[in-house]
A = this chain, B = another copy of it.
Amino acid sequence: MGELTHIDEQGRARMVDVGHKPETAREAVARGEVRMSSQTLERIAAGDVPKGDVLAAARIAGILAAKRTGELIPLCHPLPITRAEVDFRLDRERSAIEIEARVATVARTGVEMEALTAVSVAALTIYDMAKALEKGMTIENVRLVRKTGGKSGTWERE
């Protein structure tokens, strides 16, 4: 900052420099779930929800959110996503909808935040569309499952 003295030498938020890193293929997979009563789960499965087809809307919302991650998360680098998928699994035993997002790019940094954001917004959309049935649903266990590419290579949740 030239002649300017930093007000606080530590703790200033900043988007860290990735300009020196090479562009490489990177992928991230994230998961999460929405817990709900079995009645709510069955009505979503049957497509019988006041606001309409829950999973189709949640999928689109998650994909769109992945593309806007850099606008939502202050210090995230904007990245040219080359692929985005959001899928669901109805888990009747645990009375939950599992969400999985896969995002890929060719860039200087990874797409972990894009995958986690896609899962989170898909989960919020499920909540929104079914909340007339059950306000007590919870979003749980939003987590990175795997990332590949970049200098740090592959990371996999144990």
Contact = CB atoms under 8 A, between A and B. Distances in A.
Given A87-B1, A143-B136, A55 B7 contact: yes
Contacts of A29: 2
A77 B106 CA distance: 13
Interface residues of A, number: 92
Contacts of A90: 7
Total identical chains: 6
A4 B73 contact: no
18 contacts: A4-B89, A7-B55, A11-B52, A12-B53, A13-B63, A14-B63, A15-B63, A15-B85, A19-B106, A32-B139, A60-B60, A60-B61, A60-B74, A72-B121, A80-B80, A113-B131, A138-B142, A139-B143
